[in-house]
């Protein structure tokens, strides 16, 4: 029985309430989430500065030991360098740089002296383009003071966090949404279990788990891949063989990005139905900027939802 997808007469009012709820949360909690992340980033930048003699001696050994320093190095230049710009300036293999950026690992095939050559190219660009307004000690005889190093680290950390501000906010909001779901469930007698290697279909009645992998058939049903699901809840009333309720927690700070990403849920639910049939239930838990176009698209795909400002609608799904 649909709960919200078949009630378009309510969508406009719910959208307005959801936007207000997100904005209130953002104004109160987003700055703290950003600051906390910036504090951790500052510590990491200070460690990078120490290992590179305050950005005056960037050795291949540093990048080989800590491949994840590359974003910090890119944000230390004037102007800060995008990944593709660094690749072009240094004339280094794109696959090497992107593996260091995304996987935080060194390339597999490029090793030894050949790897050192490419890393030295990156080091040369960073040292030549290091921002003199941030690293004020570069080019002078006096060493950097602790205050100067901390100030520089804070500025670079701010650049790093600014480049990933949306994921930082989205992660904080997701954690809050899941905590809200947990509070609601536990007030009704549900117990949280560790997902580990659990089989989502073997969960006991009255249990739930977060961020559980659900296996689905891959290409042509021949391979198996795991789909991460934010919340998996086995109802109190579940009988052997019943599916748990699968929930995707979603928040958004603007309407544009939600409409760009709306196909993701449709792809996920189609994979689930292909593997388990039409009885598997997958719904959304929404807070923020989800307009009528987004809701209509999900409704056509048969995906229902619960608004965070009306969490008791979860009862409509048998919880």
- From 89, 81, 155, select the one nearest 124 (Cα to Cα): 89
**CA dist., res. 65 & res. 60, Å (int):** 9
Of 164, 194, 223, the residue at which a domain comes to its end is 164
pLDDT at 305: 97
Q: How many structural domains does the chain have?
A: 2
DSSP 142: S
Q: How far apart are CA 24 and CA 27, in angstroms?
A: 5
**Domain encompassing residue 138:** 34-164
156 shares a domain with 56: yes
Q: Specify if 2 maps to a domain.
A: no
Is 286 inside any structural domain? yes
How many angstroms separate the Cα of 100 from the Cα of each of 66, 75, 148?
Answer: 9, 15, 28
Residues 293, 251, single domain; the answer is yes
Q: What is the pLDDT of residue 232?
A: 95
CATH number at residue 286: 3.40.1350.10
Each residue's pLDDT tens digit in the chain (319 positions)? 789 999 999 999 999 999 999 888 888 887 877 888 888 888 889 988 988 888 888 989 999 999 989 999 999 999 999 899 999 999 999 999 999 988 889 998 888 999 999 999 999 999 999 998 889 898 888 988 998 998 899 889 888 887 666 777 778 888 999 999 999 999 999 999 987 556 888 899 999 999 998 888 755 555 788 888 999 999 999 999 899 999 999 988 888 777 777 788 888 898 899 889 888 999 999 999 899 999 999 999 999 999 999 999 999 999 9
Residues 170 and 160 in one domain: no
Domain end position, chosen among 144, 164, 184:
164
Same domain for 143 and 215, yes or no, is no
């Amino acid at each position: 029985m649909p709960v919200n997808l078949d009630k378009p007469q309510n969508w406009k009012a719910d959208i307005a309430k959801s936007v207000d709820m997100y904005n209130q949360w953002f104004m109160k909690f987003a700055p703290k989430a950003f600051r906390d992340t910036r504090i951790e980033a500052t510590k990491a930048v200070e460690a990078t500065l120490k290992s590179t003699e305050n950005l005056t001696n960037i050795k291949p050994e540093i990048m080989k030991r800590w491949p994840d320093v590359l974003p910090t190095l890119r944000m230390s230049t004037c102007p800060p360098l995008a990944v593709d710009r660094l690749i072009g300036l240094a004339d280094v293999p794109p696959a090497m740089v992107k593996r260091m950026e995304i996987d935080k690992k060194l390339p597999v095939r490029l090793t030894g002296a050949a790897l050192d050559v490419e890393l030295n190219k990156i080091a040369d660009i960073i040292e030549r383009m290091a921002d003199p307004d941030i690293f004020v000690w570069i080019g002078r005889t006096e060493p950097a003071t602790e205050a100067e190093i901390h100030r520089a680290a804070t500025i670079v950390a701010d650049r790093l966090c600014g480049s990933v501000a949306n994921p930082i906010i989205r992660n904080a909001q997701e954690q809050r949404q899941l905590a809200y779901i947990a509070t609601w469930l536990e007030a009704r007698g549900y117990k949280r279990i560790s997902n580990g290697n659990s089989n989502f279909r073997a969960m006991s009645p009255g249990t739930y788990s977060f961020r559980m992998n659900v296996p689905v058939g891959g290409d042509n049903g021949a391979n198996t891949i795991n789909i991460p699901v934010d919340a998996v809840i086995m109802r109190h009333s579940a009988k052997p063989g019943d599916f748990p309720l699968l929930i995707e927690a979603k928040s958004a700070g603007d309407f544009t990005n939600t409409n760009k990403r709306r196909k993701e849920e449709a792809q996920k639910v189609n994979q689930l139905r292909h593997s388990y049939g039409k009885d598997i239930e997958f719904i959304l838990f929404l807070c923020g900027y989800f307009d009528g176009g987004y809701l209509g698209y999900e409704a056509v795909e048969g995906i229902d939802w619960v608004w965070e400002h009306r969490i008791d609608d979860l009862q409509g799904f048998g919880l």
